Structure 1
Amino acid sequence: MEDKHGIKDKVAGKLKEVEGKITGDKAREVEGKAQQAKGKVKSKATEVKEDLE
């Protein structure tokens, strides 16, 4: 299943961010934030595409 709305990236990113905060792993925390941003971009791109149709 294709994740056009970025939901998987948003959720997985949040989990990584929280894991990084709990374990003190700044790299994991940043990775999670980046993945969440990727999900937000996918979501916005889908909105724009739907608006153009």
Structure 2
Amino acid sequence: MAFLAALKTLVREHPGVALELAGAGLKKAGTEILSEMKARIGSGRPERR
């Protein structure tokens, strides 16, 4: 609950910083997703047994 209060304060008092943090988080998530997709595509189709 304290985290949400801190987040609320950050957004209300420092919206620019909050936006930069959100953008950095989205960039990191997108990078991880692309990396995972490339790994799965690169591994090819699993063999049937």
Q: Does TM-score exceed 0.5, indicating one fold? A: yes
C-alpha RMSD over aligned residues:
2.1
For residues 1-53 of structure 1, the aligned pairs below 5 Å read: 21=10, 24-53=13-42
Gaps of 5+ in 2: 1-6, 43-49
Normalising by structure 2, report the TM-score: 0.61
Gaps of 5+ in 1: 1-17
Q: Which has the higher contact order (CA 8 A, sep 6+)?
A: 1
> How big is the shift at 1:24?
1.5
> How big is the shift at 1:31?
0.6
Q: Using the aligned pairs only, state the percent identity.
A: 11
Q: Which has the larger radius of gyration?
A: 2
Give, in whole Å, the separation in 2 of the partners of 1:22 and 1:52. Answer: 39
Deviation >3 Å, runs of 4+: none
- Size of the aligned set, in residue pairs, is 35
